[in-house]
A and B are shown apart, each in its own frame.
Chain A
């Protein structure tokens, strides 16, 4: 049985930042378990730039962003195992894992940090009818083929879903010589960042059809065509609005799902909205000593925020190992109000807060000129004017410890209100 103070499951941006921060906070005996052949996670296939504007104040590519953390990890001498799969995690923080060199391992950790990231929603999950030919890829799989394996996936492409990976791939495939014919989005707004709509679609004259969906896939061996139709307010296709496209490739960018199969087995409670663990101010899950950060908790828009959140998890895991994390004292719950889909973290133990807490959230629709209202036990404590809010972009609200201590309330909620309402 191997023993570590902290075991980090997943060596992507979340796991790297968490491990580094834990080490900097005085815990030496740390191990990262990574299932891929290298550290860095999905960043390694994100060869476009735009990463790091907040953390490093410069524009980096995904691999460059990852490399900064990997180098730091090397410098700090943190242990890691690649090509290693965790098979099981128990609530007593024992882990079983395998790889080709160590074989079957059992590891006992004082604290665990979950940073497994997310996976893509599939064609099956959205039940698109049609044939089942080759040529249907989730956008991330296509990205891996093109950017890491070095192979093109097709020549004439239609993309369903306007998530960021789909948008990025529209540009990437165009630059590689493919013709991207259209992007269809079920919702009346894009799920991606505005900058990606502009830089990846508009700059290349790729049409984006909002409130449209895919109603058929044709082709026996390889995709031969797809049908896109407009949807009504209940998101059902409107007969007579069908547009037929000839294409050999269909990319799906229809959402990301936090990968929490290991968490579920460990008995960790999940949030039905985020699909990730319910966490407290320390990013600790419902199982003591098991922390979580990054896309395994909730899908982020920018890796910079993953890094920030993961540093918090790493620091707190270190505090937990050093027995500096308090289980006592005043506790509050966060509660999404009107217009807010979820808030992370879900609970706050005020004793563990330093001077403030960042509440991360997503809104449920596009909003213009609204107020975000923070209330404690129903009483407004502060309001912020917002010119533009979109579901594709994560929002954060900083609440100071003083604001929380002043009220001594039990529930802090955030809601959106029209200005002047």
Chain B
């Protein structure tokens, strides 16, 4: 029997798994997809929010501010890209200046440090590409940007290295209350556990409803984004928001930790929890709205678009509590924005809740660090030379756009909670994230995946099991192989 089963390997589940791995517990992280960080975690604004948005007194406000303060140490320990570049909320008129003042005061109540309201001139001096009609901004110096899936992947890897088990492609189909805990069914498979943590994101209500009467609903809210080429990554230096509205924080313009430019999202309430398609309307919306903030956004440098679904709860706040009707079952639900920022603090809180119930013992050999991650292009020339000498696979570039080596790709496949799909490799090592979007490196990455996982290249998938890339050998290959076999056979005779 497991002590703890965590359902869902998004940012919440992986951060909780890692926090839990500091204790002597038998824990398992259950994920329906082929990879961790595969839902909302991989498709959001990638922002570490300062914490002035949330209503004072809410869990959102509390965990946003607590979480924000944890990022420096966490990202250093886990070697995750994070930059505290600061954020602007910009105002275009006196009324919006009042909104800034309200945000500032909310920030003070929430305990946000290092905020200031600055003039339009100061804004333009710091961000010359923004609209000259901006009259002022709330500058929150603790705002930042992070690699969201990198953080979840790193947390999962570190959790596994510290003893947590991980089960991928395991969709929870039912949960039964048993003596001293729960039995979790995943299709034909099942496992027993004393405690359950429900981090199922868009499906958290469904998982909750397996053990208790409905208490909340998850209402998917889609957001669409564009990513721009690195050549325009320095278009802005900070995260730039317009004034918030009823649908959220508005269309932001921000650099990414990898040096691209990110523009989005819109906000669209949907029924379908799998509607990850972008639309002409949505992409048009983010374009129309972002140009108000910065007229000269170089839309000819777009390299891709994506959509994410926020797991919005109908309660208005994060739901982080033991379910009354199901002892030992903890909901971590409705983790919409600022969920990414809050996740590390939520993890600490959830593990404290568990501690009160179970009294787990702290480990003395917890290792907070991941094995060293090599970014070949960030090395000095001397280091590059030494790296290739040590492992020649670092001397072979697979991704031409971002100069990513075979060594780096093999490494992310070999790590704990490592990549098993083309998208998994892309999220960890970035081949296919550049301007050619995998045109050149796709075939090579598939070849490496097939070799390292010892599978046929036709069995390499993009993401899900059903997302096959190649169908079958061509007629000519088939004929050649047949001919070769018959030649070989005739020689034997």
Contacts and interface: CB of A to CB of B under 8 A. Distances in A.
Interface of A: 35, 83, 85, 87, 96, 98-104, 106, 119-120, 122-125, 127, 129-135, 138, 140-141, 144-146, 148-155, 176-177, 215-218, 220-222, 237, 259, 261, 264
Q: Secondary structure at chain B's binding surface: helix, strand, loop or mixed?
A: mixed
A221 B474 contact: no
B392 interface: yes
Contact of B277 (A122, A130, A259): A130
Given A83-B396, A124-B302, A140 B473 contact: no
A153 B471 contact: yes
Given A98-B397, A127-B226, A134 B436 contact: no
B306 interface: yes
- The majority secondary structure among interface residues of chain A is mixed
Interface string B436-473: 11111011000100000000011001111111111111
Contacts of B435: 119, 122, 125
Interface in B282-338: 282-283, 302-306
B73 interface: no
A367 B256 CA distance: 45
B276 A131 contact: yes
B472 to A, nearest CB: 5
A127 B305 contact: yes
Given A106-B381, A145-B443, A155-B471, A215 B280 contact: yes
24 contacts: A100-B393, A101-B392, A104-B381, A104-B388, A124-B303, A125-B302, A127-B226, A129-B279, A129-B282, A131-B276, A134-B462, A134-B467, A141-B442, A145-B470, A150-B473, A151-B472, A152-B470, A153-B469, A154-B471, A155-B471, A177-B475, A218-B277, A220-B276, A261-B401
B395 A101 contact: yes
Q: Which of A127, A144, A264 has the most CB of B within 10 A?
A: A127
A117 to B, nearest CB: 11
Contact of B381 (A96, A99, A131, A154): A96
B437 A104 contact: no
A103 B403 contact: no
A199 B401 CA distance: 34
B439 A221 contact: no
A129 B303 contact: no
A151 B457 CA distance: 9
Contacts of A135: 469
B458 A151 contact: yes
Contact of B395 (A99, A131, A145, A154): A99
A140 B439 contact: yes
B278 interface: yes
Instruction: Across the A-B interface, give the 4 residue pairs with the lowest CB-CB distance, nearest first.
Output: A124-B304, A150-B477, A221-B466, A85-B397
B476 interface: yes
Nearest to B280: A129
Nearest to A133: B467
A57 to B, nearest CB: 29
A152 B274 contact: no
Contacts of B471: 151-155
A96 B397 CA distance: 13
Of A104, A120, A123, A176, which is in contact with the most chain B CB atoms at under 10 Å from its CB? A104
B385 interface: yes
Contacts, number: 146
Contact of B443 (A35, A103, A106, A149): A149
Contacts of B384: 98, 104
B400 interface: yes
Contacts of A222: 466-468
A134 B470 CA distance: 9
B274 A220 contact: yes
Given A131-B277, A152-B470, A222-B468, A119 B439 contact: yes
B234 interface: no
Interface hub of B306, B392, B467 (most chain A Cβ within 10 A): B467
Given A134-B467, A154-B471, A119 B436 contact: yes
A404 B363 CA distance: 84
B486 interface: no
Contacts of B123: none
Contacts of A217: 277
Contacts of A131: 276-277
A306 to B, nearest CB: 19
Nearest to B229: A125
B302 A176 contact: no
B227 interface: yes
Contacts of A103: 385, 388-389, 392, 395
Given A124-B227, A151-B457, 10 more contacts: A83-B396, A98-B388, A104-B395, A106-B381, A119-B436, A125-B303, A134-B468, A141-B438, A152-B470, A215-B280
B323 to A, nearest CB: 31
B278 A129 contact: yes
Interface in B55-107: none
A369 to B, nearest CB: 35
Contacts of A35: 397, 400
A122 B472 contact: no
B278 A151 contact: no
Q: Specify which of A106, A144, A220 lies most central, judged by the most chain B CB atoms within 10 Å of its CB.
A: A220
A389 B140 CA distance: 58
A215 to B, nearest CB: 7
Contacts of B438: 141
Contact of B403 (A87, A125, A150, A215): A87
Nearest to A138: B439
A133 to B, nearest CB: 6
Given A132-B306, A133-B467, A221-B466, A85 B276 contact: no
A176 B439 contact: no
Contact of B475 (A125, A129, A133, A176): A176
Nearest to A175: B475
Contacts of A144: 443
Contacts of B392: 100-101, 103
B474 A100 contact: no
Given A120-B436, A138-B439, A99 B396 contact: yes
Contacts of B279: 129
Nearest to B395: A100
Nearest to B300: A125
Given A103-B388, A131-B276, A176-B475, A122 B470 contact: no
Contacts of B395: 98-104
B474 A129 contact: no
A155 B468 CA distance: 12
A119 B435 CA distance: 9
Nearest to B382: A104
Contacts of B283: 127, 129
B164 to A, nearest CB: 28
Nearest to A237: B280
A35 B444 CA distance: 13
A47 B331 CA distance: 58
Contact of B305 (A87, A119, A124, A148): A124
A104 B469 CA distance: 34
Contact of A130 (B278, B303, B403, B461): B278
